[in-house]
Amino acid sequence: MAAVAHDVPGATPLPPGAPLPPARGLGRRLLNHRSALLGGAIVAAFVLIALLAPLLAPYDPIGDADLGRRLQPPSAEHWLGTDHQGRDVLSRILYGARISLRVGVMAMLMAAAVGTAWGALAGYYGGWFDLISGRLVDLMLAFPSILLAIAFAAFLGPSLENTMLAVALVSVPQYMRLVRGQVLSLREQDYVVAARAQGLSDARIIVRHILPNALAPLIVQATLGVGTAVLDAAALSFLGLGAQPPAPEWGRMLNDARTVFRVAPWNMTFPGLAIMLVVLGFNLLGDGLRDVLDPRARDD
């Protein structure tokens, strides 16, 4: 089997038998990359928050509603204040991390799975299938992704599960084009030609010899894709097409807070900061991974 190429989009893959950089070297470069380290720390912090939300949240994010304490400013009792129904904002943000991260990761996994399979088949076989696939992807990319997501979510109906599906559908073309480009550059490599001559099936050649060499840019795209999915899901929930009340989803919290922004700005400020930090974390981590997996960085 050919050596796996740790490359970036457009870079030349490693030739067969080329030595791979040691994992320790990759880890060292990742630890020395400040942006990646900061992004990874932010992502890890929010993952821990999501996992430990029941232990960290001082109140029930849904059941502890009390109109007598509605719209209270941040205080020692409620560190981030209360919302329009008297619920603790901090508790809702902590539990909201579970929802937003789950939506982002699941949407990315679905989009990556479909886009990778589609792009691999289109790039490997070419012909009419590649031509039709390319035109369909071009058509989808001609529209802003958020508009397509709104259209899909409106058609499917407002719910968290449909939000995941809508966000995944609009993300598929990015993975398809990335994988197709990688497969086009790899399918004529000597080791792929040799595998065909040995009588290996197309499926085995794609899975065992081609896709591993396209893994590095796919990892980078997937990391960046989680942040994009979190942002798109929050936008759909803000528009009323995503998570429904009383779910403590960050986009939904922004929607609930817009009518009281003048009197209780903390209701919108803190969920907005949570969204910003999560997206920033995944973007920094993705950019760092792109630099670390770049073959030109191996001699640093």
pLDDT greater than 60 at residue 208: yes
Domain ranges, ordered by start, for the chain: 35-297
Q: How far is the C-alpha of 270 from the C-alpha of 95, rounded, in Å?
A: 13
Q: What is residue 33's DSSP assignment? A: -
pLDDT band, residue 16 (cuts 50/70/90): very low
Confidence of residue 296 (pLDDT cuts 50, 70, 90): low
Q: What is the pLDDT of residue 116?
A: 95
Q: How far apart are CA 166 and CA 232, in angstroms?
A: 9
Residue-wise pLDDT for 122-179, tens only, equals 999 989 999 999 999 999 999 989 999 999 999 999 999 999 999 999 999 999 999 9
Q: Residue 293's Cα: distance from chain center in Å?
A: 19
Q: Specify whether the backbone of 66 is left (phi greater than 0), alpha (psi in -120 to 50) or beta.
A: beta
Fold for domain 35-297? Answer: MetI-like fold (1.10.3720)
Span 254-265, pLDDT tens digits: 999 998 988 999
Residue with tokens 């050919």: 2
Nearest CA to 169 out of 137, 142, 122 is that of 137
Give pLDDT, residue 108: 96
| pLDDT interval class at 1 (50, 70, 90) | very low
Name the 3-class secondary structure at 83: coil
Cβ proximity of 297 and 25 under 8 Å? no
